[in-house]
Structure 1
């Protein structure tokens, strides 16, 4: 009996290249969402959760159109957030990133991710398959937690738009990483959202 969690980063949104926080999916983002749905079409999903932000909600709606047996539900625990600030262990190279992040934002992000881990990384009974459509930093935090890596390491984990990460837990065993940022379902021209040097 295994509990599977499929973590998907939302599709590319129209305003991503203009510095705006949220917006509807771009044409590429809609295609990414459709291909994620195709990739998951053989998975007996028990639940689909998504961030309330528009780019994640629209990704979830497209998945539901192609997988009509699922009914996506929003979860505030999957909002985009910054779960830590600078720590003594954080490399100085990351300091500029935190220059515009307030202490209140970090406190809220930390509390949110603590609640998210308590809500989702809890062993369910029987075989369970859950899909979480969320954001890069949230997925990175889940992965860091599963790998028991230092807190700052979430900053080094990046997912492409529509990338698929899979974690699982068998009864009595720790959580396991099955796949990270799998892009096999996306053609090269749809692989967006990663640093340019990572896309070659």
Structure 2
């Protein structure tokens, strides 16, 4: 039996370039979410979960409006977070990222992602398709977990707005990454959210 996780980053946020912590989707973000919903319309989803933040919840509403069989449920396990802190084996180039991050934020993120992995990266007794609408760092942590990579390796794993990552969780074998940051449903002008240049 397989459990399929469809990990989606929220659509582009209105005025995201101004550094606002949360807010509604931009018109472009609405279009991104609509096109992704059209792409996934034929998937037999068993459930949908979303980060409680506004940009993710609005993305979830747009997507599930086209999927009448499911209702998105907010989950604190999908909240935007810092999944882990600096480690001794982490390249020095990444250190500046943690300049404004507190120990409390790191501890909260580590605990959250440990619970999220326990919740969703465990095998199911039946075939399931689950939609998770969340944030860049959360998706990066799931991808890192699939590969069993060092804790710091979530850094530099980026997903665009309304990008699609699919993970297959199997009963007797390790989980596998089917696709990461698939943007085939978005025309070039709607592909946003990836750093032009890595800040670290």
- Name structure 2 gaps, 5 residues minimum: none
CA deviations over 1:50-105 (Å, ceiling 9, x no partner):
00000000000001111111110000000000011111111111111100000000
Q: What is the rounded CA distance, in whole Å, between the counterparts of 1:147 and 1:155 in structure 2? A: 14
> TM (normalized to structure 1)?
0.96
Q: What is the rounded CA distance, in whole Å, between the counterparts of 1:66 and 1:194 in structure 2? A: 26
Instruction: Quote the RMSD (CA, aligned, Å).
Output: 1.1
1:97 corresponding residue in structure 2: 97
CA deviations over 1:126-158 (Å, ceiling 9, x no partner):
110000000000000000001111110000200
1:18 corresponding residue in structure 2: 18
1:196 corresponding residue in structure 2: 196
Q: What is the rounded CA distance, in whole Å, between the counterparts of 1:69 and 1:30 in structure 2? A: 21
State the 1:197 CA deviation.
5.6
1:136 aligns with 2:142: no
Q: What is the rounded CA distance, in whole Å, between the counterparts of 1:172 and 1:8 in structure 2? A: 26
Q: How does 1:22-171 map to 2 (within 5 A)?
A: 22-171=22-171
Q: What is the rounded CA distance, in whole Å, between the counterparts of 1:27 and 1:196 in structure 2? A: 21
Contact 2:122 2:169 in 1 (8 A): no
Q: What is the rounded CA distance, in whole Å, between the counterparts of 1:26 and 1:194 in structure 2? A: 16
Contact 2:64 2:71 in 1 (8 A): yes
Q: What is the rounded CA distance, in whole Å, between the counterparts of 2:112 and 2:53 in structure 1? A: 15
After TM superposition, which residue ranges in structure 1, 4 or more long, deviate above 3 angstroms?
none
> TM (normalized to structure 2)?
0.96
Contact 1:15 1:21 in 2 (8 A): no
State the 1:196 CA deviation.
2.1
- How many residues align structurally? 198
- Name structure 1 gaps, 5 residues minimum: none
Q: What is the rounded CA distance, in whole Å, between the counterparts of 2:31 and 2:157 in structure 1? A: 24
